[in-house]
């Protein structure tokens, strides 16, 4: 009888010992919401995140930085959950389906300014002067935003590029950003904006989502307002064409273009850093094995066009932002 009891105790102890690492392993995984891109599937999205993790490790080693966070994405295995819209991802965060979400800094600032239960922070505190951190923050952790058009709209793209360049050069873009992006985050009230009609002019149908505030913003009552409307009002004057705003779901952007529902989509994500990296690296082999490992997962050409569907083209960028992590306060 004693032997049976002893064997039972041994089995219970062994099961207990085996159960502890299993629980610990489970606790080391955190679900993070990520906005899906238009031109890559979930498998390639995961490759992008894996490549970023490789560069994150390299950057941390070069910077001799240990994360100050007790449990963060630097120490935990992050399981990505992909969403077609910010609204759906935010609902998942509030419901506890994901632990955190990755979004652009200006949008994170807007969300946190309007919800006292949310907080945000950078992926990690690194010395950005290192080559790896430079790749990380200016490359994979940053995006430029451009207009998206069908590939047969080259002439219209050139008109938009000329307007973007002029608006940047004369300081108008800086003023619009300060008022309609920084101002919104700072609590400033956004007033409705009218895009003045030009008699007899052609009309461009522009797709907006309101899904990336305050850059792509729609007032709560549906009235056109914010940075996107102010920028398009300015562009309308400069190219001499009317702008008709068409609201749509974020995931419907490419199909709306292909079907002719809209002529232009207000935002798509691009990467001028990836473009420059391609130019600088042409004919050269990566010096670092770690960078080579990351490039085997996601090539700069793939990253540059990850949000640009086939048979579409993008303008020069008008805005840039860096990805941060949003979570609920403890």
Q: For residue 197, what is the domain's CATH number?
A: 3.40.190
Percent pLDDT > 90 in the chain is 60
**Is the link from the previous residue into 214 a cis peptide, with omega within 30 of 0?**
yes
Per-residue pLDDT reduced to its tens digit, 11-46:
333 334 344 444 444 456 889 999 999 999 999 999
- Kindly state whether residue 36 falls inside one of the protein's structural domains: no
Contact status, residue 296 vs residue 140, Cβ threshold 8 Å:
no
Per-residue pLDDT reduced to its tens digit, 283-295:
777 777 877 888 8
Judge whether residue 68 has pLDDT over 60.
no
- Kindly state whether residue 231 falls inside one of the protein's structural domains: yes
Please state the rounded mean pLDDT for residues 148-157.
98
Q: pTM of the full predicted structure?
A: 0.84
Please state the rounded mean pLDDT for residues 251-265.
96
Query: Is 136 in a helix, a strand, or coil?
Result: helix
Contact status, residue 78 vs residue 32, Cβ threshold 8 Å:
yes
Instruction: Give me the helices (H) in the chain, please.
Output: 2-27, 42-63, 86-95, 105-114, 131-135, 154-169, 172-177, 183-185, 226-239, 253-259, 272-281, 289-297, 300-304
Question: pLDDT at position 196, please?
Answer: 95
Range in 43-47, 135-139, 147-151, 221-225 the model is least confident about: 135-139
Question: Cβ contacts of residue 68 below 8 Å, gap of 6+?
Answer: 125
Q: Within 10 Å of residue 286's Cβ, how many Cβ atoms?
A: 13
Distances (CA, A) of 164 to 46, 66, 266: 33, 41, 13
Query: Is 76 in a helix, a strand, or coil?
Result: coil
CA-based angle 183:328:267, to the nearest 5?
45
Pairing outcome for strands 118-121 and 319-328: antiparallel
Tokens encoding 82 = 């992909």
Give the chain's length. Answer: 330
More confident position, 65 or 174: 174
Closest to 269 measured CA to CA, from 37, 2, 32, 28: 37
Q: Within 10 Å of residue 293's Cβ, how many Cβ atoms?
A: 15
More confident position, 137 or 210: 210
- Kindly state whether residue 264 falls inside one of the protein's structural domains: yes
Number of domains in the chain: 1
The span from the CA of 320 to the CA of 79, in Å, is 26
pLDDT bracket for residue 297 (50, 70, 90):
confident
The span from the CA of 218 to the CA of 86, in Å, is 14
- Kindly state whether residue 182 falls inside one of the protein's structural domains: yes
Question: Number of C-alpha atoms within 13 angstroms, CB side, residue 253?
Answer: 28
Judge whether residue 198 has pLDDT over 80.
yes
Please state the rounded mean pLDDT for residues 301-325.
94
CA torsion, points 292, 311, 271, 232, in degrees to nearest 10?
A: -170
pLDDT bracket for residue 80 (50, 70, 90):
very high
Contact status, residue 297 vs residue 51, Cβ threshold 8 Å:
yes
Question: pLDDT at position 58, please?
Answer: 77
Query: Is 318 in a helix, a strand, or coil?
Result: coil
Per-residue pLDDT reduced to its tens digit, 90-130:
999 999 999 999 999 999 999 999 999 999 988 766 666 66
Q: Domain range spanning residue 184?
A: 146-270
Question: pLDDT at position 55, please?
Answer: 79
Query: Is 233 in a helix, a strand, or coil?
Result: helix
- Kindly state whether residue 150 falls inside one of the protein's structural domains: yes
- Kindly state whether residue 308 falls inside one of the protein's structural domains: no
Query: Is 213 in a helix, a strand, or coil?
Result: coil
The span from the CA of 267 to the CA of 82, in Å, is 19
- Kindly state whether residue 256 falls inside one of the protein's structural domains: yes
- Kindly state whether residue 287 falls inside one of the protein's structural domains: no
Distances (CA, A) of 60 to 65, 126, 127, 289: 5, 6, 8, 16
């Amino acid at each position: 009888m004693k032997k049976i009891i002893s064997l039972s105790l041994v089995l219970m102890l062994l099961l207990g010992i085996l159960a502890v690492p299993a629980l610990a392993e489970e606790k080391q995984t955190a679900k993070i919401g990520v906005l899906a891109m238009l031109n890559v599937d979930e498998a390639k999205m995961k490759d992008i995140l894996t490549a970023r993790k490789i560069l994150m490790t390299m950057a941390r080693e070069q910077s001799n930085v240990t994360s100050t966070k007790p449990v963060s994405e630097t120490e935990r295995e992050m399981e990505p959950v992909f969403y077609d819209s910010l609204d759906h991802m935010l609902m998942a965060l509030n419901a506890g389906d994901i632990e955190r979400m990755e979004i652009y800094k200006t949008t994170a600032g807007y969300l946190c300014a309007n919800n006292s239960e949310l907080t945000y922070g950078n992926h990690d505190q690194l010395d950005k002067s290192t080559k790896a951190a430079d790749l990380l923050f200016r490359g994979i952790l940053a995006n430029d935003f451009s207009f998206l058009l069908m590939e047969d709209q080259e002439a219209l793209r050139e008109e938009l590029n000329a307007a973007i360049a002029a608006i940047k050069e004369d300081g108008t873009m800086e003023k619009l950003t300060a008022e309609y992006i920084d101002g919104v985050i700072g609590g400033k009230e956004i007033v409705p904006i009218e895009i003045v009609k030009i008699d007899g002019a052609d009309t461009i149908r522009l797709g907006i989502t309101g899904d990336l505030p305050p850059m792509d913003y729609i007032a709560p009552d549906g009235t056109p307002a914010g940075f996107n409307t102010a920028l398009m009002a300015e562009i309308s004057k400069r190219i001499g064409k009317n702008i008709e705003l068409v609201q749509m779901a974020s995931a419907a952007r490419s199909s709306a273009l292909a079907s002719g529902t809209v002529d232009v989509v207000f935002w798509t994500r691009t990467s001028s850093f990836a473009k420059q990296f391609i130019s600088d690296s042409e004919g050269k082999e990566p010096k670092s094995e770690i960078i080579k490992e990351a490039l085997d997962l996601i090539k700069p050409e793939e990253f540059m066009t990850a949000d640009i569907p086939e048979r579409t083209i993008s303008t020069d960028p008008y805005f840039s932002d860096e990805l941060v992590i949003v979570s609920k306060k403890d």
